[in-house]
Amino acid sequence: MTTAPPVVFIPVYEFTAKQNAIVRHLASRMRAVGTGLIVITALLVLRAVLGSVEFGTLIWIGAAVLGCIGFWSVRAGIELQRVVRTEGTDIPYLMRALTEIRKLYDLQYWVLVALALLAAFTVLVAIAGRGLPAAW
């Protein structure tokens, strides 16, 4: 015998017209920036596939990061747009948007951690008197 999951009550909250205008503007900008990043990623990959530029591993990683940032920005913008377009579901759509934004910032956080570690490694190698690694 299975029991039904507990019912979660989410109070209905509707943003004011002024608040909706702010959310609408943010949603529009997030979708535009995200779409632009996806287009740039596609152009980088297309250029690499056509062989018109030598692509190293770092460029592929950069393209993947840009693509993810663009994708999650578009998704967050879509969820924010739903906040404005619907009634009675502002909080669930807002939480979905925040989930996408969290993914976007988690990725950027770890990219910065990786870059800081790489910079620290480079400094340590230079201090040890071995010069910069050949990749630099």
SS3 content of the chain, % helix, strand, coil (to 5): 75, 0, 25
Q: Is the pLDDT of residue 5 over 90?
A: no
pLDDT grade for 110, boundaries at 50, 70 and 90: very high
Provide the pLDDT for residue 14.
Answer: 86
- The pTM for the full model equals 0.75
Q: What is the b/e burial string over 82-117, where b = at least 16 CB atoms within 10 angstroms of the residue's CB? A: bbbeeeebbeebbebbeebbebbeeeeeeeeeeeee
